[in-house]
Structure 1
Amino acid sequence: MEQFLTFGIVGLSTAAIYAVVGSGLVLTYVTTGVFNFAHGAAGMLAAFAYWQLTAGWGWPVPVALAVVLLVLAPAFGAAVERVLLRPVQALGEAERLVMTVALLSGLIAAARWIWDPNVARPLPTFFADRKPFHIGPATVTWHQAVTMLVAVAVAAGLWFLLNRTRTGAEMRATVDDRALVRLNGGDPARSGRAAWILGTQLAAVGGILIAPTVALDAAQLSLLIVSAYTAAVFGRLRSLPLTFGGAVVVGCLESYLTGYLPQNAYLPGLRLAAPALLLFAALLVFPHRRLRGRDRRLGRVPLPTMRGTAVFAAATVLLGAVLASVLDEPDLITVAPIFSLGVVALSYVPLAGYAGQISLCQLSVAGIGAVVWAHLGADGSPWALAAAVAVSAAAGALIAVPALRLSGVYLALGTAAFAVVLDRWIFTLPTFELLGVRVALFEQGSVEVAGPSLFGRALDGEAELTVFAAVCLALATLGVAVLRRGRFGRRLIALRDSEAAYATLGGNLLAAKVAVFALAAGIAGLGGALYGMQQRSITPEQFNLVAGLPLFLVAVIGGLGAVGNGLFAGTALVAPNALLGLAPWTQNLIALLPGLAGMGLGHNPDGIVPMFRRRWEPLAGDGIVLPALLCTLAVAWLLRLAGAIDGWTLFCGSLIVALVFRALAEARHARTVAPEPDVPVEWWGVRRAWRPGDEEVLARGVAGG
């Protein structure tokens, strides 16, 4: 009984922290309509700042707390609301979600840059010099008591603010109708700013309270928010009392699993994954109200031409061949993942771009494909690659079945929980048997990966694997383009536009979601297998949730509806490391870039790939300048093969020549083509030529009307 009470006290103290952090999350969502995935990262940053002031610089604890909670946290919350969230407030839910994911990734990278993760930073508990006291047979430390008192004070204060003050009423009304708030003399911007400031302060309180009991690590502290997510989902993202109740469930579950979970090789990871499993279960079991702020900015998904896609696919293979022929093996090891990671990023196009299904676990699914290939493809058999794709597709279908009743933020939370379960439990399991089949994952923390054998030839060199990955990316790009132009692609666009309308008109939601999740997971599994071949050895850390965030952000930045997004995303992820990774300090800058780019999404919500396509179209259609450019690049390639120039000269020279020829093509195009007048939609096909995408635009306009 004494042990049971002791673990109960520990669970309640942990639950108090989750309740404080979760209440800040609910407050921000209820008052602004934005679900802040970076809420835990804000608490992490506050914990590091508190350590720096106290342990690093020797400031007194009261002064450090005042500076962090009353100066730094409010300033950070106000800056995030003003600089990042306000510009995308008028956009859809997906854009606001991506912005907070970008902030999460950026804050983790920034913290690792400022505070070396290889240096231990212990933080003492509050009142560590005082003896603990007893409640019956249970021992309670003063830190635990302070934590629970703070949680009670936060609950009372928030209830009074939201239900008994004009400021609270104005904050809650802002998310429902900003215009009506203005008519009644309120200020929506002021309400949003107040919510972000208070929410950030609560995250800071939670981060400071939990930091002494865990390792002061940027990723670990940021992902403790998964437990707070679970508490918030218990409260259906709007009820503070239910959020506190959910926090108690999560905290006590973690504590009692620590004390009573049987000791064997298969269950240690279960305790770490328990909050994510509980989050997934809560998402499925609890009824959810219609998400606030579900207004979505639905742009037209580009309809790729098969001729243009075929040319792009050929250019992808040619790029792989050029890189394989001009780069040495050490450089290829750095650059070659352009194509394998590009395949993983391409999986977002049918899933998020066409069907509108948000997923944060694509890189984790790629890890499944990499593991399957590592164990089944040790001899290079091509069928093992098909098995990797099939097993990954099955995992995607498994995710899709419960995802049928989830959308938007809830779907993002569910896929993030799935990724965390893989990270913390499944990928840590030793070898086991399932239905008589031996299943092996990362047995010793890493697994060796071999290359494939095609037509009796083993592809084990970096150059050969680079070309093979480029061919796979080209074929996957062609397949996604065919999908977009086919009947199933049009069905996915209709599913994205309105699930209710899709079902009303006879569409099968379950079949469509299972099919698109399985397809996207299969593509990701192929990319994971290719990535494993190029890396030779893989570890679970390469496929965890934090590692997958930059890939998600770069895919969104590129433009989720563009079939060329795979090559763009792979290049955007790998090229900075190849160009800037010469000095150790640049690694931190490289890790920060995806987050910074994601935060700029509000300035170009349609993506970069469509913008690139518009800018390079004059060159692609010029029958004189384009052949001249190709000949020039071919000569430069031959000079590199002959040893007359080095790789950097080839790269820089080719880039400069391409820009010069593009400018020349634009000038020629401007002289020969008159600007087209803006023709009303009812005159399309009469006053201007009918275009391939006009039929879909008209159909969606009629459906929307």
Structure 2
Amino acid sequence: MNTFVTFTILGLVLGSVYAIAASGLVLTYNTSGIFNFAHGAQAMLGAFLYWQLTAGWGLPVPLALLVVLFLAGPLMGLALYVVIMRGLRDTAEVTKIVVTVSIMLGMLFLSQWFWHPEKPRSLGMFFGDDTGIRVLGAFVRVHEILCVLAAVGIAVGLRMLFQRTRTGATMRGVVDDPDLLRLNGHNPERIAAFSWALGSTLAVLAGVLITPISGGSLEANMLTLLVIDAFAAAMFGRLSSIPRTFVGALVLGLAGAYLIGYAPSSWAWTSNLRVSLPMVALFVVLIVLPQDRLRGAAMRTRERYHVPSVRKAVVWAVALVAIVYLIRLLMVESAITTFTLGMTFAIVALSLTLLTGYAGEMNLAPLSFGAIATIVVFHFGITGTGLDQRLTVWGVLLAVAVTALVGGLVALPALRLRGLYLALATMAFGVFVSNMVLRDTTEHELFGVKFSIFSGGSLVIPPLRIGPLDLQDETTFLMTATVLFALLGVGVVALRNRGYGRRLAAMKDSPAASAMLGQNLITLKLSVFMLSAAIAGLGGVLMSSATGAVAGENFNIIVSLTLLMLTVVAGIGYVSGALFGGVMAGVGFAVIMVSFNNLAKTQPELEGLYLLLGNIAAVSPALIGIGVGHNPSGSVHQMVEGYRRLLSARPVLYGGGAVIALLYVLALTGVLGNWWFAALTITIVFLLPVVGEWLMPGAVLGADEVERRRTTPPELVGLDEPYTAEGRYRLDRELGLPAARPTPAAPEPSASVAKELSAHV
């Protein structure tokens, strides 16, 4: 009886904290339509700030709580909404998800900047661990009682706010009909900002309360993912009902506690299942909940992508292979493997271009499919012993086939899901793989055969050998990965230009219209999920082989989210976006940070500056991801449009190419350092369209655009300049009205000419 009461109290306490965090999620989603994936990171930052105030600076606990809950928490939410969230209107679901994911990653890196992860930190319970009361023989601490009371009070308060007050009605109306709210004298922006401030406060409160219960140790990644468990409770209430959210949170907490208390001791995987239970519940809840009807009309978003022809894709594929080979000639041997790793990440990112960029389906855990392929190839695709071990082509093909099958199995129950629900389902799958599969290092026996899934916590993956082609050579591996990416990229573009790709685009734009025209959406979704999973599996195997030995951390959900974020930033609708996102996620920012750290060691007098620049480089991917709301089509789209206009100014284009060729020759001969060559080349590539507009504006922009930029904007005619016939003409032209350009007035005759004319008269 005592055991039952103890674990029941533990479950109620955990469930109460989940309910507090989930209530903040429901609140922000109901007033902005944005699901905040950074909710757990906000809780983490709040917990670290509370530790800094109490343990670091010695402030009294009540004063620290006032600062964290009534100052830092609201300001954090208010800043997020005003600076970022309100700019996400008219963007696709993937853009909204990526922006909040970027905020989460930025907060993680920011916490590691200010609070070094290797230094231990812990939080104690309010009033101490020994202060409490006895309930049915079980000891209940005051901190745990406060958690339950706070959760009940917040649930009741939010329920009354939404259902019984005018403010709650206006908060619900912010998403439903903001224009109607304005007509009734309300400010939707102010209401949404207030909701985000309150939701952030609830996240911070959850972070402060749950840390002592979970062990007291402060670790950024663990605490962020711990609060993410509240996603399941929020979805139990379908992001709208506070009472159902509260009940779902309690069920989650009790189920986890009872699993720890009553699972058989022979279950070696009980601890892993306990950690994975919220994600399992999230997946089940998403499948069981009724879904919205198919979207009928195409949503007008700001994303725009141009799909190249197959011929252009082949030309660019050949150019990519040639460019990578030329870059290889400049590299030292140690850098080749690093570059290879980036190319394998690009292959994984290519699966997102097909699935999300072309078909509009979400996958937040692409590297989880790479992990599954790695496990398969480790057990069934290695031949030889010792240093002669090699991957076999049949083992790789088997791993790709199994991954495609797993992708189909994951997609099968999720075929009803769309948008945010599908994103959460794939995230639940990714966290489940990380917690259950990649942590399973124990030995099992099945039909008399002993095996372990992730032997010893790491897997050694040798290079591939196909006949005379042995990828043990670094250059051979790099060029093989590049050729594979180029071939897959051409294949993806060819697929998009065929009937199958047009059906994917139609399903992305309007699922209801596609179904009405006879398209089988189930078959279409299942096939594209399987193709995407197969590509991710191949990239995962090559990534593991390039690394040599991989652990579970190589495939965790944070790495997958970073890859997705950078691919969207580059342009998820472009193969080149996958290339940029993969290379930057795999090696780009890591190389930059390592370079700054090395500079700090070699130049102690500038150590502070280099460490600062290294920390900025660590946070910069998240800052770039946050900015995707202002450029939702991605940086590749912006560059494509810039160079498309630059084709009319070929002297500038040829001049830029000549300068890059000269820099390459100087780097190849050792006159110019490799880092200077890379920095100057990247600068030229990005600035060349701007230089073209500056040097040849008429050719790049066109006469009309040049004239428009030189003249007063139409809306300022009559304000910054007086009304004239020319001004009226420009206004009529902008409004689409019939307009005739006014004829210039004849010049006034000079005095002598006027005198002569009068004499003749």
Fold shared per TM-score above 0.5:
yes
**Paired position in structure 2 for 1:583:** 596
**Paired position in structure 1 for 2:490:** 478
Greater alpha carbon shift after TM alignment, 537-546 vs 86-95: 86-95
2:257 counterpart of 1:255: yes
**Paired position in structure 1 for 2:231:** 229
- How far off is 1:566 after superposition? 1.7
Greater alpha carbon shift after TM alignment, 485-494 vs 297-306: 297-306
**Paired position in structure 2 for 1:423:** 434
Of 320, 323, 329, 1:325 maps to 329
> What is the SS of the residue equivalent to 1:460?
coil
2:573 counterpart of 1:561: yes
Could you tell me how far apart the structure 1 residues matched to 2:241 and 2:221 are? Answer: 28
Could you tell me how far apart the structure 2 residues matched to 1:543 and 1:512 are? Answer: 28
**Paired position in structure 2 for 1:392:** 403
Could you tell me how far apart the structure 2 residues matched to 1:196 and 1:665 are? Answer: 43
Is the Cα contact below 8 Å between 2:430 and 2:556 reproduced in 1?
yes
Could you tell me how far apart the structure 2 residues matched to 1:597 and 1:664 are? Answer: 23
Of 589, 592, 595, 2:619 maps to 592
**Paired position in structure 2 for 1:56:** 56
Is the Cα contact below 8 Å between 2:646 and 2:692 reproduced in 1?
yes
**Paired position in structure 1 for 2:741:** none
**Paired position in structure 1 for 2:731:** none
- How far off is 1:230 after superposition? 0.9
- How far off is 1:301 after superposition? 3.8
Distance 1:660 1:407, change over 3 A: closer
Q: How does 1:143-154 map to 2 (within 5 A)?
A: 143-154=143-154
- How many residue pairs were aligned? 680
Q: Letter of the aligned partner of 2:77 in structure 1?
A: G
Q: Letter of the aligned partner of 1:651 in structure 2?
A: A
Q: Where in structure 2 are there 5+ consecutive unaligned residues?
A: 383-389, 598-611, 706-735, 737-761
Is the Cα contact below 8 Å between 1:93 and 1:296 reproduced in 2?
no
CA deviation string 1:618-668 (max 9, x = no partner): 666887776776676566556555555542344345446657876777689
2:632 counterpart of 1:610: no
Is the Cα contact below 8 Å between 2:91 and 2:302 reproduced in 1?
no
TM score, norm. by length of structure 2: 0.84
Distance 1:568 1:135, change over 3 A: same
> What is the SS of the residue equivalent to 1:224?
helix
Could you tell me how far apart the structure 1 residues matched to 2:687 and 2:565 are? Answer: 30
Computing the radius of gyration over CA atoms, which structure comes out larger, 1 or 2? Answer: 2
2:459 counterpart of 1:459: no
Q: Letter of the aligned partner of 1:256 in structure 2?
A: Y
CA deviation string 1:338-384 (max 9, x = no partner): 21111111111111111111110112212222333344443232222
Of 494, 499, 503, 1:491 maps to 503
Distance 1:353 1:134, change over 3 A: same
Distance 1:349 1:677, change over 3 A: farther
Q: How does 1:79-478 map to 2 (within 5 A)?
A: 79-128=79-128, 130-214=130-214, 215-263=217-265, 264-289=267-292, 297=301, 299-378=303-382, 379-430=390-441, 432=444, 440-478=452-490
Could you tell me how far apart the structure 2 residues matched to 1:231 and 1:198 are? Answer: 18
- How far off is 1:596 after superposition? 0.9
> What is the SS of the residue equivalent to 2:264?
coil
> What is the SS of the residue equivalent to 1:403?
coil
> What is the SS of the residue equivalent to 1:564?
helix
Could you tell me how far apart the structure 2 residues matched to 1:634 and 1:451 are? Answer: 34
Of 555, 560, 566, 1:543 maps to 555
Q: Letter of the aligned partner of 1:561 in structure 2?
A: G
Q: Letter of the aligned partner of 1:54 in structure 2?
A: T
**Paired position in structure 2 for 1:698:** none
> What is the SS of the residue equivalent to 2:637?
helix
> What is the SS of the residue equivalent to 2:229?
helix
**Paired position in structure 2 for 1:685:** none
**Paired position in structure 2 for 1:28:** 28
Distance 1:323 1:450, change over 3 A: farther
Could you tell me how far apart the structure 1 residues matched to 2:406 and 2:646 are? Answer: 43
The alignment yields a C-alpha RMSD, in angstroms, of: 2.8
CA deviation string 1:572-601 (max 9, x = no partner): 333333234223365543332221111111
- How far off is 1:485 after superposition? 0.4
> What is the SS of the residue equivalent to 1:447?
strand
Greater alpha carbon shift after TM alignment, 606-615 vs 76-85: 606-615
Distance 1:183 1:671, change over 3 A: closer
Distance 1:307 1:224, change over 3 A: same
Q: Letter of the aligned partner of 1:399 in structure 2?
A: V
Distance 1:565 1:433, change over 3 A: farther
Is the Cα contact below 8 Å between 1:492 and 1:512 reproduced in 2?
yes
Is the Cα contact below 8 Å between 2:646 and 2:700 reproduced in 1?
no
> What is the SS of the residue equivalent to 1:605?
coil
Could you tell me how far apart the structure 2 residues matched to 1:659 and 1:194 are? Answer: 40
Distance 1:110 1:294, change over 3 A: farther
> What is the SS of the residue equivalent to 1:336?
helix
Could you tell me how far apart the structure 2 residues matched to 1:674 and 1:270 are? Answer: 60
- How far off is 1:38 after superposition? 1.1
TM score, norm. by length of structure 1: 0.90
Distance 1:660 1:427, change over 3 A: closer
> What is the SS of the residue equivalent to 2:438?
helix
> What is the SS of the residue equivalent to 2:243?
helix
- How far off is 1:337 after superposition? 2.2
Distance 1:415 1:74, change over 3 A: same
> What is the SS of the residue equivalent to 2:301?
coil
Is the Cα contact below 8 Å between 2:693 and 2:700 reproduced in 1?
no
Could you tell me how far apart the structure 2 residues matched to 1:289 and 1:457 are? Answer: 51
Distance 1:382 1:643, change over 3 A: farther
Q: Where in structure 1 are there 5+ consecutive unaligned residues?
A: 681-705
